[in-house]
Structure 1
Amino acid sequence: MSVREASPAVVTVSALDAGHLTLPERLFVTDADPEKRATVPSLSFLVQHLAPGRTRPTRLLFDLGVKRDIHGYTSSQQAHIAQRQPVIISPDCTESLLAGGTAVGPQDIDLVILSHVHWDHVGTPSDFSSATFIVGSGTLGLLKHGDGPLYPADLFNDDELPFDRTVELPLVSPFDVGSDRPKQTQPSNSALARIAPYLNPGTWAWKPLSTFPATLDLFGDGSILVVDSPGHLYGHVNLLCRIAESKYVYLGGDCCHDPRILEGDKGIALYEDGRGGLRSVHVDTQAAGATLDRIKGFVESYRGTIETEVIVAHDGVWRGLNRHKFWPGTL
């Protein structure tokens, strides 16, 4: 008699409202209505991982959305936010978590992973005083020093994340060390000690999976893979979560801002950069396009065996159709 293969490790994923902002379509998609503006969500996700032998799941938030207090942004950030009005700050991530009606509050969150540190994803980190933060390599340097003329330091809060509770993911490539990208910051001993009950960063390594050149198995059991997703901002990462034996959920952050780009109906918009050239909402438009191609290729590579649902952070259509998947509901 053959031994039955063990079922793969899975997690539960619940969506959370974490504020809304308004985006002019012409800055994000090709063939846009130049006057159209859409108020869209900035989604957060609660991911729960129950390891064998544990009675309580490890609770992880992916992205925190918009800050509850708009005055928590720098003056330069607020000038940018003025162009994204209306901005709706309630419910934010914490309010949505508490509104779930269960005994899970911000003090019960163990880990927070930020896809990147733009203003509409960093939320209010101080709400999660028990959590350890995980960010892409170079993120702390980006917060402190910015990155060139398009992303000056005053567009970020250099104290956004608590250093003694923040761990950067390892470099994806040793060639990044000598590049112009923000440099990696080694985690403090206190941050490593805090994360030890849940994760072992010493075992982390980027490995290819299907069309993705670099994925990192967060818990070592295949249930959550961090996907290096370059293009939008340095340190940008996505999450691939296995929620059933035959289903993945791909949390795409800002790999694109409109699902029609992923569907092939629209392209990434280019607009004047104020310096005589063109730019997009991505720091590297070519890399962002390559990331989208890899996502689409991944979905196709498993079609017929494993379903992959892709959710990007600002998909208002998905939000409207899937209210039952918001906490305390699950995907």
Structure 2
Amino acid sequence: MPSANTDMSLPLPKPDQVYVTVSALDGGHLTLPEHLFVTDADPNRRVTVPSLSFLIRHPSRGSEPSTRLLFDLGMKRNPEEFPPLMQTHIRNRQPTILYPDVGDSLRAGGLDPAEIEMVILSHVHWDHVGTPPDFSKAQFLVGAGTLHLLRHGAGPHYPAEIFIPDLLPEKRTQEFPPANTPTADPELGEVIPECVHATQRSSHTWQPLGPFASAIDLFADGSVYVIDSPGHMIGHINLLARVSETNWVYLGGDCCHDSRILNKIKDIALYDDERGGKRSVHVHTAEARETLRRVQKLVDGINQTATESGSNERVEVVIAHDGEWREKNRSRFFPGSL
């Protein structure tokens, strides 16, 4: 049985608890210079990594239909659709592998992309946005500030010229409301522009959950939680899915780019920002560290409680670019499951 509930633990299952099925999807590959992402790296080492996507199937309840949800869309099938400045950046991430993309991976498992009802993007970096027109009936949900970012950019490192302003279908896209997650450093805290129309902001409400200051119970049944995960990019969010009575899956997006950081073996790399200072691959490094600390606290807390109580409760964290996880878990890709 799951461990007893505490302030830092996750909710116990209800008698009629709903569980979801999570399946990994191939969404292409890109190549990263390792020294830009982890400390103490070989400056010449380049690693080709996946851009993982995930299919979450929420079962029907009474008169409510089932929902097929995608978290992230991986690589865009036609990168030429990006503006020239972004295409220059992509040329520095070669080799890239664009097939199979998420649509291909769904079809290989017997599911038409047009059957997807919901898409949630962890953030809108080029290697996570995929090809939205493939999902012609889906409602898109993104973190607060994302629509402003796509239209106007955000500072010198993320100018408007690298984004596609009409990337997402306007009539089928909503932002989650701004969260109340406290910042690790008030001077670095994100400022979410109030620029979306009322019809473009969802009615969801953030509440604390375990070590996380802000979470949304997406289906209002404790099966899938949207986690506010600031730091990497404006609007960055993660998902926490309940897959059985004792098992959870935490989809970490780009909370870090290497599992050694998550496991506290390595740290987030800092490098010259070409303006006399240091930066990381995260827009707010202090915020990214705080998000990572909360994820680690979730894992450590559940492991400790399980050890002390003898329970089987566990949480598996999967980040978007973990090539080692992909190679070890091929049977868990759709139509398989985690």
What TM-score do the two structures reach when normalised by structure 2? 0.89
**2:142 counterpart letter in structure 1:** V
Report the identity percentage. Answer: 54
Distance in 2 of aligned mates of 1:115 and 1:174? 16
Q: Which residue of 1 aligns with 2:130?
A: 123
Superposed, which structure 2 residues align to 1:96-107 within 5 Å? 96-100=105-109, 102=110, 104-107=111-114
Q: 1:319 aligns with which of 308, 326, 329?
A: 326
**2:172 counterpart letter in structure 1:** R
- Deviation string 1:97-147 (CA, Å, 9 cap, x unpaired) is 1011x2x21110000000000000000001111001000001000000000
Distance in 1 of aligned mates of 2:240 and 2:223? 8
Superposed, which structure 2 residues align to 1:16-35 within 5 Å? 16-35=25-44
Distance in 2 of aligned mates of 1:180 and 1:27? 23
**Residue 74 of structure 1: how far off its partner (Å):** 1.1
Superposed, which structure 2 residues align to 1:52-201 within 5 Å? 52-54=61-63, 56-100=65-109, 102=110, 104-173=111-180, 181-186=191-196, 189=199, 201=202
Q: Which residue of 2 aligns with 1:6?
A: 15
Superposed, which structure 2 residues align to 1:281-320 within 5 Å? 281-303=281-303, 304=306, 305=311, 306-320=313-327
| Greater Cα offset, 71-80 or 21-30 | 71-80
Structure 1: stretches of 5+ with no match in the other structure:
193-200
**1:181 counterpart letter in structure 2:** V
**Residue 8 of structure 1: how far off its partner (Å):** 2.4
Distance in 1 of aligned mates of 2:250 and 2:197? 27
**1:99 counterpart letter in structure 2:** A
**Residue 57 of structure 1: how far off its partner (Å):** 2.0
**Residue 54 of structure 1: how far off its partner (Å):** 4.8
| Greater Cα offset, 304-313 or 244-253 | 304-313
Matched, 1:206 2:206: yes
Aligned 8 A contact 2:180 2:214 in 1? no
Distance in 1 of aligned mates of 2:94 and 2:63? 45
Distance in 1 of aligned mates of 2:40 and 2:318? 23
Question: For the aligned residues, what is the CA RMSD?
Answer: 1.9
SS, match of residue 295 in structure 1: helix
| Greater Cα offset, 76-85 or 49-58 | 49-58
**2:215 counterpart letter in structure 1:** T
- Deviation string 1:46-89 (CA, Å, 9 cap, x unpaired) is 00101311585200000001001121111111100011000110
**Residue 186 of structure 1: how far off its partner (Å):** 3.7
Q: Which residue of 2 aligns with 1:195?
A: none
SS, match of residue 119 in structure 1: coil
Distance in 2 of aligned mates of 1:238 and 1:187? 24
Distance in 1 of aligned mates of 2:104 and 2:197? 30
Aligned 8 A contact 1:10 1:223 in 2? yes
Distance in 1 of aligned mates of 2:74 and 2:32? 15
Aligned 8 A contact 1:171 1:184 in 2? no
Aligned 8 A contact 2:272 2:279 in 1? yes
Aligned 8 A contact 1:60 1:110 in 2? yes
**2:284 counterpart letter in structure 1:** D
Aligned 8 A contact 2:181 2:214 in 1? no
What TM-score do the two structures reach when normalised by structure 1? 0.91
**2:91 counterpart letter in structure 1:** A
SS, match of residue 298 in structure 2: helix
SS, match of residue 128 in structure 2: helix
Distance in 1 of aligned mates of 2:117 and 2:55? 11
Distance in 1 of aligned mates of 2:64 and 2:278? 53
Q: Which residue of 2 aligns with 1:224?
A: 224
**Residue 236 of structure 1: how far off its partner (Å):** 0.1
Distance in 2 of aligned mates of 1:227 and 1:132? 19
Q: Which residue of 2 aligns with 1:279?
A: 279
**2:210 counterpart letter in structure 1:** S
